[in-house]
Amino acid sequence: MKVGLFIPCYIDQFFPQAGIAAFELLKKLGCDVDYPTAQTCCGQPMANSGNEEDAKKTYKHYVRTFRDYDYIVAPSGSCTNHVRKHYDNIAQSPDVIHVRKNTLDFPEFLIDVLKIESLDAHFPYKVGLHQSCHGHRGLKLAKSSELVGEEYSKIRTLLNMVKGVELINLDRTDECCGFGGTFSVKEPEISIKMGIDRIDDHLRNKAEVITGGDMSCLMHMQGISLRRKDKLRYMHLVEILNHT
């Protein structure tokens, strides 16, 4: 099984430690993993800004870069969801169909493909889980609170494999943090207020660390916390799963 690792723009530029942890974790789990240096963006920022025609060149470049891998794994529910759900805007060649089907977020790949049941990781902290909108409702990584049915969360399942983690319970388990990509630029006041609401939920329930599958959401909340001087750490899910 040949795995291509896709690293989102904001991780590449601002949070390289999450990208390094993603690569190391895949290696630890026995994957034949490669980081193709030709990769760029998935095209989501342009599409979200209403410039999907311009984004199509980026879509095609992504497909050319990753078409020869069995799976493409990304530490981002947002980027994964975009590739799977929005690349229908280009011609559906066999390569495009293959890349769309086999681009997976980390929780999907670890649980659904590798079917891991244990991890050699240790992280002795109280952890609050932020479930991003794209991962949660787009990729169905967990049951949405408005639905009736059996509770499940692929991210919680993985975190429960980490020794020492104490997952806190939040008052509102799957509420948006307000980032929303370009929404946070166009509607900053609303975006910040939503971020404050999410952070305060974690603080009320005594979280020491906030984690999640999308560094973009964590980046948004971390910026607010830094300005407020909150005593919170922010770490991508893969950093905790790779922590020993």
* Cα gap 23→93, rounded to integer Å: 29
Segment 13-23 shows an average pLDDT of 97
Say yes or no to pLDDT of 2 above 90: yes
Average pLDDT over residues 90-114: 98
- Quick one: average pLDDT of 25-48? 96
Give the pLDDT score at 164. Answer: 98
Residue 185 confidence (pLDDT) = 83
In the chain, domain spans: 2-113, 126-241
Whether residue 213 is predicted with pLDDT greater than 90 in this model: the reply is yes
Cα separation, 58 vs 162, in Å, equals 37
Specify the pTM: 0.95
What is the rounded distance in angstroms from the CA atom of residue 178 to the CA atom of residue 183?
8
Q: List all residues 6 or more positions away from 198 whose beta carbon is below 8 Å from its beta carbon.
A: 130, 175, 176, 177, 178, 221
Q: Give the per-residue pLDDT at 80.
A: 98
The reported pLDDT for the residue numbered 179 is 92
Q: What is the pLDDT of residues 158-210, one digit of tens each?
A: 999 999 999 999 999 999 999 987 888 889 999 999 999 999 999 999 999 99
Pairing of strands 126-130, 71-74: unpaired
Read off the pLDDT band of 64 (50, 70, 90): very high
b/e string for 146-175 if b means 16 or more Cβ within 10 A? eeeeeeebbbbbbbeebeebebbebeebbb
**Residues 166, 125: contact at Cβ < 8 Å?**
yes
Closest CA to 214 of 178, 187, 186, 244: 178
Q: At what angle do helices 52-66 and 94-102 cross, to 10 degrees?
A: 90
Instruction: Give 8's pLDDT tier (boundaries 50, 70, 90).
Output: very high
Is the pLDDT at 48 greater than 90? The verdict is: no
**Residue 49: its pLDDT value, please?**
85
Instruction: Specify the pLDDT at position 183.
Output: 86
Q: What is the pLDDT of residue 84?
A: 97
Burial status of residue 186 (CB atoms within 10 A of its CB: 0-12, 13-18, 19 or more):
exposed
CATH of domain 126-241: 3.40.50
Average pLDDT over residues 108-124: 97
In Å, how far are 8, 43, 58, 182 from 52, measured between CA atoms?
A: 18, 8, 10, 14
Looking up tokens 């049951």 gives: 143
Quick: pLDDT tens for 105-115.
999 999 999 99
Percentage, residues of the chain above pLDDT 90: 90
Q: Which residues does 62 contact at the CB level (< 8 Å), separation at least 6?
A: 6, 39, 40, 42, 43, 83, 87, 99
Asked if the model's pLDDT at residue 128 lies above 90, the reply is: yes
Statement: residue 66 has pLDDT above 90? yes
Question: Judging by beta carbons within 10 Å of its beta carbon (0-12, 13-18, 19+), is residue 53 exposed, middle or buried?
Answer: exposed
Render pLDDT for 129-163 as a digit per residue (tens, 0 to 9): 999 999 999 999 999 888 899 989 999 999 999 99
Q: What is the mean pLDDT of residues 15-22?
A: 98
Cα dihedral 47, 50, 52, 57 in deg (nearest 10): -80
Exposure string of 73-93, with b = 16+ CB inside 10 Å and e = fewer, is bbbbbbbbbbbbebbeebeee
Average pLDDT over all residues of the chain: 96
Contact 214, 10 (CB under 8 A): no
